[in-house]
Structure 1
């Protein structure tokens, strides 16, 4: 049932209009009556009728001024003007100001009144059928809303506060966009959400009673289960100049990289960027060129560890890591053909290190690549260690009867002495002296089984210059003397 407010300074006319028609029969309800525009405005603020039936000439605020006021602040209300023949110039003003139609007081009958009311209701309904709330929001987000439509929208919104949220469209699938709206509706009670795509951004308009801080806290505490990130506006005071607001929000989307676990930021949020850690590029390149890959990878690991605790500019850290990893991939691709996929990986390196949306994701990606190289080196090293151990045992066996030292062995295999010492201990889990002694005693056992050499000759053949020292060492290693050991073979 449509509601009706009657405004006229003549009491008899007001009462006549109210009492002479069975309004309910025709689907109308009298909401109230007023003697001038000022009284009418007070009643309209309290009750918001569908139609105002108003005289033109009235004290205080006349019908023309009332029509202008309603067109500005309540464009959804239909206005029907009552007039006399002598008021026609005024009628034109009210029609220009926004009145839907007019009735001549001298000719109005019940049928005329009802027909006129029905006509403007049908016209109003027809117009609004093409201007739903969703249509209006879409026009808002596309910056196409007229001032009259803005006023109409303001009166149609259920809740007092409106906010914009802008997110990157390329990070959201169509399903994600629907899920986001469902997430808001299910968790932010008493909130309407509307959305629209503007270029590469997805724009959301929230109509709610929550404050900006409440919305921000909610989003950053209750996580969405897909990669959502957006920027939240301040409360909108009007729907004017939304293009500028959307542009400001869009610029803040670059905060995503350093946002850590935040899903929503504000337009006044900012980061103070720190300098990139110093990377020893010359030493790194030297290590690779000398095939000291583990040292180069350790340098890279240290760089990642230092970077992880800093707030860094996205472009700078990505470019830095791309430069480092490109050299690693190139080195392994050129010198380790067993690393079959390295050239394929190098071809997608740029994509892999530019696509992460957050610093955390970038660190995870680079750490994964670094770990792959470490694992590969460990596997290679294990294989190389097995081959080298065999070569080393053969060499020491061959030279066991000579004066031989760790330094001489390191030089023979082109190792740095200090590195070789620790490397040898890791390979054999014993010192070089103990290893050499074990080789010599094992060789002595073989010779003692052969009766052609006496014990003194065997001592000299296994690198012992004195027979007494040889006997002492032999007994310590085997638990018996060389003489008794030989007897076992007779």
Structure 2
């Protein structure tokens, strides 16, 4: 039986892997699971697995560093890497370090796992008999500091002695942990000799020099994208020296600052809190100090009422659709209701799903859009900051609008196009199917049929949606009198306007206005 360890910071994924099938029938035994590389190495030393299946992106020690250590100290252990679409550059790094194979997590199937693990089994059989693991070296200062992050520990005299052995001047009271989150240019490699690794090590040396000058604390790199500073209490306003050092590097950075705490046993939980706070750099410019108190009111989803999007989609007003979404996002930001960044990206992807679904329902020819949708979703998923996410989403909606406009221009006759242009310019006037037919010298019944065939909807619905969308724009921008709005869009009767508005939008005009003017 071949022994396997699963390493992933998502507990649900580990459990799903373990219970995916009866692995013993395929000759494998899942002997343990870990949330990061440090925990995995402890299991490797005690369980001696044949195969390690590991994610790439994990806190404390990522899959790349874990692969490097395993292939150096345990060369007969086969490593299989799990990755997302946007991790492929990292996948190449793990393969160069000796990983056997990789599997894309979004497309992971049982057969993919079995095939990769059978490949590992065959590779082991073709190698020489297993050798005893290299005798572990005495614990280095870096591995000791990372062990403080991996799991809760009991504070003891032995731990304080260990700090003293490494000449780390720290007391267990009045501690502060600072996570420096670094972002490099996309695609940068993080192998040992890469520029990224060299930058992070130089940053550590520059920051550490502060503590060699008498301050109580230490600085170390958890991985190339995370540098940690552990120090005895220093007021936040006295942390500006860090920004002076960091701004001299051509990187983006954020400083996640913990509250003051006491007890080395708290380091693990405080680090986990900082990791959660670090995600919210999605909303903030480089150089920002992030503190947990700023992100206490969090939301798990983007608050969009999809029914309100129908009118924009039905008349293919995607600029208006984007403006509506942007308003919802900016209002949430102004009220400091921060949406989890993953949920924010997912919210934009859900909008695109909904747009495509709605266009399918309306029988629009969107074959090209279906071919591109996965690439659209991936671009949003890969966005690292809100401005980037908004810009990508706007670009995609404009691309959809252009594709549909191109199709419409190719299919709609010059007469109907002229009528659509006329309606767009005169919808606030007293126009009707009868007046349009007279204006363009057409039979009313013939015009009704031709309009429906070429636009996919009837004239009255098209005109009503156009008018109500204009009313919604007016209600969002200011808080005008309802009578003023209905007069401006071609409905002289406020009561009738209210009925049409509620039928299309699902609420009264006054209720809609309150969404934007509380």
With normalisation by structure 2, the TM-score equals 0.41
* Higher Rg: 1
The structure, 1 or 2, with the larger RCO (C-alpha pairs under 8 Å, 6+ apart) is 2
